[in-house]
Amino acid sequence: MIRLIDLTKTYRGFTAVDGIHLEVPRGRLFGFLGPNGAGKTTTIRMMAGILKPTRGRIELDGIDLAEHPSEAKSRVGFIPDRPFIYEKLTGMEFLRFMGGLYRIDHGVSPEDRALELLELFELSDWRDELIESYSHGMKQRLVMCSALLPAPPILVVDEPMVGLDPKAARLVKDIFRDQAASGTTVFMSTHSLEVAQEVCEEIAIIQSGRIIARGTPEQLGQQAGVDGTLESVFLKITQERMSIP
């Protein structure tokens, strides 16, 4: 479960995230939408423990991130929007590194789990190659392997489909669905309204650092008074908001 309580982030006078309250139950595939610069990535980076909130709290799986950072972080698999990873390691070495960092010692051996994930993401043939020779999409898939490696109860994902080919995108969507079905909470920010509509059970829309709408795609349609795709709902809600002085 994820709880964001009065979450606020201010950079030199500019409020990027403005008092967000949000609760995502266990096993939910939650979409986080918003126009460019709305505060999605800042929220996600705070949830991953990369940025310190100016105000408010983050609870991950019932653990306060500020009070027990290591314990809270060990329950989160984070997938950033850009896969910057250590280019001079091989894919397998990177997963071993992540296994050590997260001190994985449950269930199957970390080595077997890494091999299983590499197989799942079709990277087995490349496991002993240096990451510097991977394409963008391959790096993105490797980061996903590393996030799933500790089998975390929470997945925090920022723009997962960037750089993925249609086959890999389909695979990722299926994996997120399976993860949610097995009890993992998936918190996913995306620009792609099609992806959100297709996989997310619940969606929140953020604009100017505030949550302006929340619900299932159907509920959002009702709120906006629009009977159509998520795209038209999103445009209606965000435009209405912009027109408010």
Q: Which residues bind other proteins (CB under 8 A)?
A: 11, 16, 42, 48-52, 69-74, 76, 78, 80, 82, 84-86, 88-90, 93, 96-103, 126, 128-130, 132-135
Degrees, nearest 5: CA angle 171-137-122: 50
Beta carbon of residue 139, minimum distance to other proteins (angstroms, whole number): 11
Beta carbon of residue 244, minimum distance to other proteins (angstroms, whole number): 26
Whether the CB-CB separation of 151 and 106 falls below 8 Å is answered with yes
Alpha-carbon gap, residue 145 to 191, rounded angstroms: 22
Q: What b/e string do you get for 20-50 counting C-beta neighbours within 10 Å, with b at 16 or more?
A: bebebeebbbbbbbbbeebbbbbbbbbbbbe
Alpha-carbon gap, residue 121 to 160, rounded angstroms: 14
Closest to other proteins by CB, 150 vs 221, is: 150
Cα 94 to Cα 3, 109, 187: the distances in Å are: 31, 16, 24
Owner of token pair 């604009």: 207
Whether the CB-CB separation of 63 and 216 falls below 8 Å is answered with no
Closest to other proteins by CB, 49 vs 221, is: 49
Closest to other proteins by CB, 102 vs 187, is: 102
Closest to other proteins by CB, 78 vs 176, is: 78
Owner of token pair 């619900």: 215
Beta carbon of residue 120, minimum distance to other proteins (angstroms, whole number): 21
Query: What is the phi-psi region of residue 49: left when phi exceeds 0, alpha when psi lies from -120 to 50, beta otherwise?
Result: left
Closest to other proteins by CB, 148 vs 196, is: 148
Closest to other proteins by CB, 46 vs 161, is: 46
Beta carbon of residue 222, minimum distance to other proteins (angstroms, whole number): 35
Whether the CB-CB separation of 118 and 91 falls below 8 Å is answered with yes
Beta carbon of residue 195, minimum distance to other proteins (angstroms, whole number): 22
Closest to other proteins by CB, 59 vs 93, is: 93
Beta carbon of residue 103, minimum distance to other proteins (angstroms, whole number): 5
Beta carbon of residue 176, minimum distance to other proteins (angstroms, whole number): 18
